[in-house]
A and B are shown apart, each in its own frame.
Chain A
Amino acid sequence: MTWLREHRWRIAAAVVALVVVLLGKQFYRDATAADLRWILAPTAQLVSWVSGGHFVYESGAGWIDPHIKFIIAPPCAGLNFALAAFLALALGALPSMTTARATALRLAGAAAVAYVATLVVNTTRIAIAIAMHRGTIDIGGYDRAELHRIEGIVVYLGGLCVLYGIARSVANRSHHVAAR
């Protein structure tokens, strides 16, 4: 009973994080480009800046650059990365979730950081994919689809570890500052 009382905010936060992940996965399964505009539009804009392309919205398909023949479609939204980042950040912040206010702040912070990180990491992933598509990065005779898949796994997983590492060191630093 005492244990439950002591950890009630952590348990609540873990449940909220899991529910968000489950609902997010459910939403992503049937989401259209229009449904994902909140994440695809800024991604397409950032990719346009980074790659020098010009992506425009085409209803039903996503963001297309007809010159380089590349499409940023709903599966490219990076929502799986966003959900994984939110889950990792929320779980990592559990020890400091001791009050309702701290829990709400950390969950909101995790969501905001996960969103921004998704834009950055996904832009990187798509920019590399465009470079491979254009031939700027030589992929030799390898299967393009397979390389695109491997590139996604490496960039997303690497990005997730880097993001978590940064969040962890920032949290440790602020903890040390607060302890002084």
Chain B
Amino acid sequence: MLNCTAKYRIILIVVLALPLVGQAQGIDSIEFSFIPKSIRFGVDLLGMGKSFAKDDLTQYELTADIKFNKLLIDFDYGIEERDRLFDDGLYNVQGSYYRIGADISLTKPEDKGSVIFFGLRYGKANFDNSLGYVVNDVFGENMRNFTVNGVKASWYELTGGTKVKIWKPLWLGFTCRFKFGMKYDESDVLIPHDVPGYGKADEKSYWGFNYYLFYNIPFNKGRQSKKVLK
């Protein structure tokens, strides 16, 4: 039986997918080109906002995508540090991550001011985590500290989102991420709670969101693809 959160997630997946499917049905041709049209560099505004708003979180992410007509090759790199304070203890995680993957644009060719996409990513993180706590039970009071460095984790993502031109080279966009297939180094010292770039390590699947501000650099317009396959 599904719990409330699982039901909610399934409904949201369907609802989020609807506009993308609608767009896909409007596409009647696929353009192929191996000549890059543009490159976009972006910064995650959501992570930056959280970093400013919260004392216990630092999260910065840079992204880049190269556009080949309908295909976008994506690369993200981020750093994250998080403290989780709980009764009688503190958990800390810090590390970096990257994601690499591709998106397919569902936008019609004449709509050059926006991109609607879906795609796949492979994510990998390398992080250190530590846990310090005091336990008071029938065996008395005990203070312990554990640190595990160089933990590696990997996962996959289904992505969907949009990028819209705001002003000249500036674009805004968001990416919804359905993360799954989390694997991390097993440790007999400490079980990680957070994985940078992924979220809670014990969640088999996880949602993620990014709001990006992009700077778009178009390549030579004279070399645009001419080949259109119907």
A-B complex is real: no
Binding site for B on A (CB under 8 A): none
